[in-house]
Amino acid sequence: MSTSMARLVAFPLGIAALIGCDAFKGVTEPLVSQGIILGVEAPQSDQIDLSGTDFQQGTAASIFLADATSVDDLSNAPIEGATVDIRGPGDMGNVDVPDAGDGLYAVLPTDQTLDYQGNADWTIVAQRDPKSDPGKATIHLPPPADLDIPEQHDQGQPMQLDLSGKGFTSVLVAVIDVESGTVTFDNEPKDIKAIYDMTRGSEEVGDFEIPGTAFPDDQKVYAVGVAGMQHTKAEDLDGLNTLLTSFMAGDMNLYPTTTGTIPTP
């Protein structure tokens, strides 16, 4: 073997020794997943009825699978026909996550097969075919954020949320016109790349500003939904690409706020 060839062989072996065989395998594992577990609590006011909207009470899961080795491949190599389930403690058992097409596996709140359990740990298991080893991710379900949302808010003005000191690494926010059910603002990621982008941060989230365009009309009641999210880390993953895979979970509280005048008692 030539000296140059020996160096080429020794280089990856040396890297593997430095970072550990398991870590090296995690970096090169082609099975990639991005996902969200979102619970939505019952609205904190009988003024709010969001049944039939995307933010009705219940628990949803959106899990994307891809065969990818880089960020650029995430949207281009979806895995269909895989087996995905979520496993929880106690009576929860294994919950099947149906294939929704284009690499998405989803549970809807209306399915009523998942029940968000604050401070529980769930395991997401994905197997692309019966002959392959399953990929697993353990995700912690944080409790909902306890926030003070003003009951009255000025039309067209931004709203500041303070999540400092609550241990969340991102926040998912939605504003809904209660009368029409129209979502006037939300930052929920809708595809695998968007979830990847949202879960890159590891620092605790502090302030979040809802834009004034979320409150476009006067004399309206809006539901402000806030879910503080926590992300998985590399050590939470097994059989999945540790650089490109991440999951996030959170529980949403819904608060009423009005752009009208609240009568003085």
- Residue 222 CA to residue 159 CA, distance in Å, equals 12
Residues in the chain, total: 265
- Residue 242 CA to residue 86 CA, distance in Å, equals 19
**Residue 190 Cα to chain centre, angstroms:** 10
- Residue 41 CA to residue 93 CA, distance in Å, equals 22
pLDDT digits (tens, 9 = 90+) for 90-137: 888 899 999 999 999 999 998 999 999 999 999 999 999 999 999 999
Output DSSP code: residue 97.
-
- Residue 210 CA to residue 160 CA, distance in Å, equals 6
Strand partners, 95: 86
Q: What pLDDT, on the 0 to 100 scale, is given for residue 5?
A: 43
Say whether pLDDT at 23 is over 70.
no
Q: What pLDDT, on the 0 to 100 scale, is given for residue 4?
A: 46
Cβ proximity of 178 and 48 under 8 Å: yes
Structure tokens given for 159: 């709203």
pLDDT digits (tens, 9 = 90+) for 134-190: 999 999 999 999 899 999 999 999 999 999 999 999 999 999 999 999 999 999 999
pLDDT band at 264 (very low <50, low <70, confident <90, very high): low
For 65, 94, 141, 222, 226, the CA distances from 43, given in Å and listed in that order, are 32, 28, 19, 12, 11
Cβ proximity of 257 and 224 under 8 Å: yes
Task: Supply the pTM of this predicted model.
Answer: 0.87
Helix (H), strand (E), coil (C) string for 168-187: CCEEEEEEEECCCCCEEEEC
- Residue 10 CA to residue 157 CA, distance in Å, equals 61
- Structural Rg of the chain based on CA atoms: 21
Count of Cβ atoms closer than 10 Å to residue 144 Cβ: 18
Q: What is the mean pLDDT of the chain?
A: 88
